[in-house]
Amino acid sequence: VFSILGPHTGQYYGDIVIVFKHELMLHPDANFTVQAATTFNSGITHKFRPWLQNPGKQEERWKQFHSSKLHCSIEGYEYSAALELMATTGLEKKTIQVELEDIIKRWLIVDSHHVFEAHLPQLIPLNYIDH
């Protein structure tokens, strides 16, 4: 199960929104990536994150996708996520000196495939739904 972990600016998935409790991200089967899985599949992730080398082959891009998963239960995940946000925002501004306002502004205008994508457990108990 994938979901958008951040602002959803796209209109191509419909209007159903379920907000889960943040504890769900601590589940051992939950993780998130800086960009959507489809961007690895197409190879476009390397355009927006040039510090990642495009391995060329589809199979190797999938390995790269799985290697890029961040887990909230692993200490330091937030540091890695923050560095990625600074780098992707700084890439557009051509500087690493970015402020939180810059990151928020970028997240509100980019396509939903370029904000964090959460990957959730296959079976989610209803008590994980916040509203």
**Segment 89-110, tens digit of pLDDT:** 999 889 989 999 999 999 999 8
Looking at residue 101, its pLDDT comes to 96
* Residue 13 belongs to a domain: yes
Looking at residue 65, its pLDDT comes to 94
* Residue 93 belongs to a domain: no
Domain tally, the chain: 1
108-127: average pLDDT: 89
* Residue 96 belongs to a domain: no
* Residue 85 belongs to a domain: no
* Residue 104 belongs to a domain: no
Domain membership of residue 17 as a residue range: 2-74+111-128
Q: Nearest Cα to 33, choosing from 84, 75, 74?
A: 84
* Residue 87 belongs to a domain: no
Share of residues in the chain with pLDDT > 90 (%): 62
Look over the chain and give the mean of its residue pLDDT values, rounded to a whole number. 90
pLDDT(11) > 80: no
